[in-house]
Structure 1
Amino acid sequence: MKKWLVFASMLALALVIAACGANSNNSKESSGAANNGAGSEASASESEVIITAKDWEFDQEEYRIKAGETVDLTLKSAGGIHGVRILKTDYNISNNKTVAVTFDTPGTYDMICSVPCGAGHGKMKAKLIVE
């Protein structure tokens, strides 16, 4: 019984570590809140914000965009595989993808890494401030 528990623990650890592996997919995806990042649609964005993720942190603690403006949010992974989920919205950004977002009302939104990426995964947080 003890051997199976150790085996299962090692397998779980290997899966978590594998989630932080490199990925060379550099495609672009645009999405609105209504389709939860699943589809692709053309959009005329007014600006772009690049979010860089690496080793359990984002490159900035906060990102700022203007209310009513369509902005391309791009997630670049400098190490491992990551994702960004904007809480209290349907916006999800996959590893090395771009999503067009529009927020009509000013406010602050929490962003988290949406891909389990290792021991520091829970610390991967940032804020999106809509002005």
Structure 2
Amino acid sequence: MKKWGFILSTLVVSAVMLAGCGGESKPQATETSQSAPAASGNAINIEASNWKFNQDKFEVKAGEPVTINFKSAEGFHGITIEGLDVNIQKEGSKTITPDKPGEYQILCSIPCGPDHGKMAATLVVK
């Protein structure tokens, strides 16, 4: 009897993980910054589809405001940028001013299926 319970729970967990990226879901709360757009007009557009971003690398200049625009084109995704105060779900924008040059990991912040762990890009601050 324990064996069937384990198999059933494994199937349920697998179905939930696969459903995360599988299609459109009900709209959820998104984080959108109420900050004004970057004064210099700098912006990057990050788009997520099933298990990938539209670019592997995004470049910005240190000390200049930049607006990060995020969109989930396929499935349900979010982004977080390690070391910076960025966390956007589904769709939204956030304006930041990165002060320290370096490379920052952009990661999908919502478990979205079997290749969720491969969803990564780099923000290069020069």
Percent identity between the aligned chains? 36
> Does 1:43 pair with 2:11?
no
In 2: Cα distance, 1:113 partner to 1:101 partner = 19
Partner residue, 1:62: 57
Q: CA deviation at 1:23?
A: 4.3
Coordinate RMSD, CA, aligned: 2.0
Match of 1:94 among 83, 86, 89: 89
The one-letter amino acid of 2:35's match is A
Stretches of structure 2 that go unaligned for 5 or more consecutive residues are none
Partner residue, 2:117: 122
> Does 1:19 pair with 2:20?
yes
May I ask how many residue pairs the two structures share in their alignment? 121
Q: C-alpha offsets along residues 47-73 of structure 1, whole Å, 9 cap, x if unaligned?
A: 221101111011111001111111111
Structure 2 length-normalised TM: 0.86
Q: CA deviation at 1:42?
A: 2.8
Q: Secondary structure at the match of 2:16?
A: helix
In structure 2, the CA distance between the partners of 1:78 and 1:12, relative to structure 1 (3 Å rule), is: same
In 2: Cα distance, 1:65 partner to 1:94 partner = 22
The one-letter amino acid of 1:87's match is E
Answer with 91-100 or 56-65: which moved more: 91-100
Partner residue, 2:101: 106
Q: CA deviation at 1:115?
A: 0.6
